[in-house]
Amino acid sequence: MFKLIEFNYHGKTVFFRADLNSPVKNGKIISDARFRAVLPTVRYLLEHNAKVVVGTHQSKPYEEDYLTTEQHAEILSSLLGIEVKYVEDVFGKCAREAIASLKPGEILMLENLRFAAEETKQAPLEKCENTYFVRKLNPLIDYVVTDAFAAAHRSQPSLVGFARLKPMIPGFLMERELKALNKAYESEEKPKIYVLGGAKVEDSLRVAENVLRNGKADLILTGGLVSQIFTLAKGFDLGDANISFLEKRGLIKLIDWAEKILNEFYPYVRTPVDFAVEYKGERVEVDLLSDKKWIFDERPIMDIGSRTIEKYREILQEAAIIVANGPMGVFEIEEFAKGTVEVFKAIGESEAFSVVGGGHSIASIYKYNIKGISHISTGGGAMLAFFAGEKLPLVEALKISYEKFKDIGK
Ligand code: 3PG
């Protein structure tokens, strides 16, 4: 792969693909974590007099957090301390004119890339290369720089389409992400503990299967919906409220798969011994084996309980390598952030080399000022795909571009 510092950007137009897709509440972006993560690359490009064209997606069509990138431009602008222009267009005439009129050291934010139909679908690189998006912008740009690690599992035009047309260069964030994730995955140190939470159950099962089968994990601690599926697969009842919630989300069918993993690796997959629910306006913790278990028929599980947190903390203290993805519960609600925050804190306090990710859930690391985590990944699904042993289309595109352009003058 190329290195960012190998090129001369003076007066060159750089398409900078970032992933600034961020959590939103009442129409407002509530975390700038992904913006801060790309600042070193953006600053480097601006300091070296590039004309920087930023592209990002925000959510997907019909979702509540599917927004224009006007706010993204404002946030980036206030973090950089310079104007970030915004154009309400992706690759049409307005966008192209705005790009062409940029001066060295100036920066422009394109509209939400997923406002363009081509960007909402995945297709092989050859097809992405032939999209209107790529064909219209290609004549205007000299280099592509990418820090969109969080979208690295997607094969979409803005991510992979330029690979054979322009030198595609990883930014500082991309480089850091790949270095840290490879270190955690390839390390020979033991014990290696994986903490899998959140709602991406299928992706997490893929990770569990891959890391256990290939000797990359010694133990898996579960939380979130991942733990509910494994708990059910172990034969425990989680009550009507939870079963019907999992059914609605189409997750019940994954119990068989979880059972297969347990048949092979039972002692290496830990599930919570207690869970927290909301009862009469309060956090109530219920032991999985207690006679208060009826509560699960009425109240959905919102978090792991304190006994589980304690057990997980003890295990994490002894770890050499920790990989964690996704929250332990509904961390957006204060009373139910406890599991997520305490587990992330325990990871920070351990001496292990630790990588923590999970898309929007990493916002809680900043909110609760949790220190000591070796690498906070900006990736959610991308991080899971990596640890599931899958090839990431964006990483493959960077390699293809390097092979194609490595001999050109920089
Ligand atoms: C993410 O938050 O995981 C990335 O921005 C990718 O988003 P996507 O899952 O909508 O492609």
Report the separation in Å between the CA atom of 99 and the middle of ligand 1, taken as the mean of its atom positions.
Answer: 26
pLDDT recorded at residue 187: 96
CA dist 334 → 179, 280, 303 (Å): 34, 16, 11
For the ranges 100-104, 235-239, 257-261, 268-272, which has the lowest average pLDDT? Answer: 235-239
pLDDT recorded at residue 364: 83
Centroid of chain to Cα 184: 16
Query: Which pair of tokens denotes residue 179?
Result: 């270095």
| Side-chain half-sphere CA neighbours of 216 within 13 A | 20
Distance from C-alpha of 296 to C-alpha of 303, rounded to nearest angstrom: 12
CA dist 390 → 141, 153, 393, 396 (Å): 30, 9, 9, 11
What does the pLDDT average to over 297-318?
97
> 170 preceded by cis ω (within 30°)?
no
Q: Is the pLDDT of residue 406 over 80?
A: yes
Q: Is the pLDDT of residue 366 over 90?
A: no
Strand segments, DSSP code E, in 35-178 are 51-55, 85-86, 107-109, 143-146, 168-170
Report the separation in Å between the CA atom of 381 and the middle of ligand 1, taken as the mean of its atom positions.
Answer: 7
Q: Assess contact for 222 and 194: CB atoms under 8 A.
A: no
DSSP category for residue 246: H
Q: For atom 6 of ligand 1, which residue has the closest CA?
A: 151
Distance from C-alpha of 397 to C-alpha of 144, rounded to nearest angstrom: 11
pLDDT recorded at residue 350: 97
Distance from C-alpha of 188 to C-alpha of 216, rounded to nearest angstrom: 8
Give pLDDT tens digits for 343-352.
999 999 999 9
Is 180 in a helix, a strand, or coil? helix
Give pLDDT tens digits for 18-42.
999 999 999 999 999 999 999 999 9
Mean pLDDT of the chain: 96
Report the separation in Å between the CA atom of 59 and the middle of ligand 1, taken as the mean of its atom positions.
Answer: 7
Report the residue count for the chain: 410
pLDDT recorded at residue 408: 81
Q: For atom 2 of ligand 1, which residue has the closest CA?
A: 359
What does the pLDDT average to over 116-129?
97
Q: Is the pLDDT of residue 113 over 90?
A: yes
Q: Is the pLDDT of residue 358 over 90?
A: no
Position of tokens 């006007």? Answer: 70
Report the separation in Å between the CA atom of 21 and the middle of ligand 1, taken as the mean of its atom positions.
Answer: 7
User: Which of 17, 22, 56, 57 should be mutated for ligand 1, with most atoms under 8 A from CB?
Assistant: 57
Distance from C-alpha of 357 to C-alpha of 10, rounded to nearest angstrom: 35
What does the pLDDT average to over 285-299?
92
| Residues whose CB is less than 8 angstroms from the CB of residue 399 and which lie 6 or more positions away in sequence, other chains included | 1
Q: What is the ipTM of this complex?
A: 0.96
410 pLDDT tier (thresholds 50, 70, 90): low
Q: Is the pLDDT of residue 2 over 80?
A: yes
Nearest one of 149, 209, 156, 136 to 175, comparing CA atoms: 149
Q: List residues near ligand 1 (CB under 6 A).
A: 19, 21, 60, 150-151, 154, 359, 380-381
Q: Assess contact for 138 and 84: CB atoms under 8 A.
A: no
Helix segments in 214-280, DSSP class H: 224-233, 239-248, 255-265
pTM, two decimals, is 0.94
Nearest one of 36, 3, 6, 7 to 22, comparing CA atoms: 36
